[in-house]
Amino acid sequence: MNSYLVGGSIRDKLLGLPIKDRDWVVVGSTPEEMIANGYQPVGKDFPVFLHPKTHEEYALARTERKTAPGYRGFVVHAAPDITLEQDLARRDLTINAIAQADDGTLIDPFNGQQDLNNKILRHVSPAFTEDPVRVLRIARFSARFDFTIADETKQLIQQMVAAKELDHLVSERVWQELEKALITEKPSLFFMALRDTGALASIFPEIDQLFGVPQVPKWHPEVDTGIHVMMVLDQAAKLSDEVTVRFAALCHDLGKGNTPADILPQHIGHEARSVTLTAALCQRLRVPKDMQSLALKVAEYHTHVHLLFELRPATILKVFEALDAFRRPERFEQFLLAGEADFRGRPGYETLPMPEKEAFKQCFIAARSITAKPFVEAGLQGPAISTAMQKQRIHAIKKVMDDIKQAE
C-alpha cells in the first residue's frame, strides 16, 4: 500500500499558492484493508476514506468508464492492481494529474509541470469530453490562474458543444462553478474562455447574446454590450469581495441582448427585460434568494444611479424603499457598489470621480434620519404615520439635492 499526494495541492504548491486541502491516492490496497487500518469510509460512489488522525481524504486508485450522458454517467473500478499512472490518466487537466511520493519525488506522466510553466490548460486524454462539468472547470481555472486553453482542448470542447453534451449539465453544478469563478480576481476570463470555446451560448445564452449588441452611448469602437458587462464584472471584483455584488453586476444589462432592433439605439425599456431575464437565469440556476434579490433590484434600478441628478426626490425614495434600505442599509451599499461598477466599466472611466454615488449616500442618510417617533408623539396613528414619514423623507432628500446643486 503506497500513498501519493495528488491533484490541486501539488498544482498550487508548484504555483506558489496557499494549499487549502490535501488529497491522496492509495495504490495497492482494498476497502477492507483501509478500514482495518482505521480509515473511515465516506460516500457511496467512490472508494474514499478519511485518515484516522488528519481526516484528509484518501481515495483508492481507480479508473472510470463512461456509461451514460452527463457527469454522473460513470462506472468506477477500484482494485489493488490499478496503477498510479492509470489513476492520473482519468483526471481532467495535465496540471491536475501530478502526484508526489513520500520522498518528495514528483510523478508527472502527462507533462503537467511544463504546462504550468507555460500557463496552458490542456486535457489529459480524450476522456475529457465525457464529463460536461470539465468545461466549466477549465473556464474557471482560466479565470483563477489567467491561463490559456490549449488549441486541441478547445477543439474537444467544441465537439462537446456540437454533440450537445453540455445539455446534460445540472443546474446546481453550473451554479457551483459560476460562484467559484465569481470570486476570482478577474471573473470575466471565465466567460471569455467559455465564449472562446463556443460553450457560452449553451450554458449562459443570456450573456452570450450581449456580444455584438451596440453599446449606447458608444464609448469605444470595440466595446459592445458584452464587453461592457465583462468590464463591469471586473470592476465589481475590484470594488467588492462579495459574490452577491459581483453576480448583480453580471446581470445588470441582460435585457440589452433582447432589445428589439428598432429601439436599440435608445435601449428603451431594457431594465424590464433585464429583470425578466435575470429572474429566469436565477430560477434556472437556483441562485440563492439573497443574491437573486439584489440582482433583480440592480437590473431594475441601476440606471437611477447614473441619472440621480435628474430624478425627482420621490423617485429616489422609491429606490430606497424597493431595496428595503431602511431596514437593510447593507443592501443599499451593495446596490451602490454594483452601480459604481457599471459606471467604471467603460474605457476611461475607471478612475474618474463619481459624484452620483456620494449624493445618493447623502440622500439616504437624510431620509433614514426621519423616524416614526416624533409622529407618534404628535398623536398620529396607523397609515398616517407612514404618510407623514414619506412626506418628510421626500422633503429631506429634496433639501440634499438642492444643497448639492447650489454648491456646484
- 313-322 helix and 383-407 helix, angle to the nearest 10 degrees: 120
pTM over 0.75? The answer is yes
Question: The domain that contains 146 carries what CATH number?
Answer: 1.10.110.30
Q: What was the pLDDT predicted at 260?
A: 59
Count the neighbouring beta carbons within 10 Å of the beta carbon of residue 229: 27
Dist CA 343 CA 252 (whole Å): 12
- 220 with 232, same domain: the answer is yes
Q: How many domains does the chain have?
A: 3
Please indicate, yes or no, if residue 406 is contained in any of the structural domains: no
The answer to whether the CB of 112 falls within 8 A of the CB of 13 is no
Q: Are 50 and 42 in contact (CB under 8 A)?
A: yes
Q: Is residue 181 part of a domain?
A: yes
Phi, psi of 27 (to 5 degrees): -110, 135
Q: Are residues 214 and 338 in the same domain?
A: yes
Q: Determine the pLDDT at residue 261.
A: 55
Expressed as residue numbers, the domain containing 69 is 2-116
pLDDT at res. 67: 55
C-alpha cell at 350: 475607471
pLDDT the model gives residue 68? 60
Point out which residues pair with 65 in neighbouring strands. 75
Residues 6+ apart with CB under 8 A from 205: none
33 and 146 co-located in one domain: no
Encode the chain (408 residues) as per-residue pLDDT tens digits.
Answer: 799 999 899 999 999 999 888 999 999 999 899 999 999 998 676 789 999 999 999 999 988 765 566 555 556 777 888 899 999 998 999 999 999 999 999 999 999 999 999 999 999 999 899 899 999 999 999 999 999 999 999 999 999 999 999 999 999 999 999 999 999 999 999 999 999 999 999 999 999 999 998 876 666 777 899 999 999 999 999 999 999 999 999 999 999 887 655 555 555 568 889 999 999 999 999 999 999 999 999 999 999 999 999 999 999 999 999 999 999 999 999 999 999 999 999 999 999 999 999 999 999 999 999 999 999 988 998 899 999 999 999 999 999 999 999 987
Write out the three cell numbers for 252.
445588470
Together in a domain, 211 and 81: no
Residue 394 in any domain: the answer is no
Residues 176 and 210 in one domain: no
Give the pLDDT score at 46: 73
Nearest to 178 by CA among 282, 259, 57: 282
Whether residue 48 lies inside any domain: the answer is yes
Residues 7 and 111 grouped into a single domain = yes
Instruction: Judge if 152 and 14 occupy the same domain.
Output: no
Helix 329-344 and helix 225-239, axial crossing angle in degrees, nearest 10: 130
We report the CATH number of the domain holding residue 110 as 3.30.460.10
* Residue 236 in grid coordinates: 465589481
Q: CB-based contacts of 190: which residues, under 8 Å, 6+ apart?
A: 139, 140, 142, 143, 178, 181, 182, 184
Domain boundary among 154, 172, 198: 198
Interatomic CA distance for residues 395 and 350, integer angstroms? 34
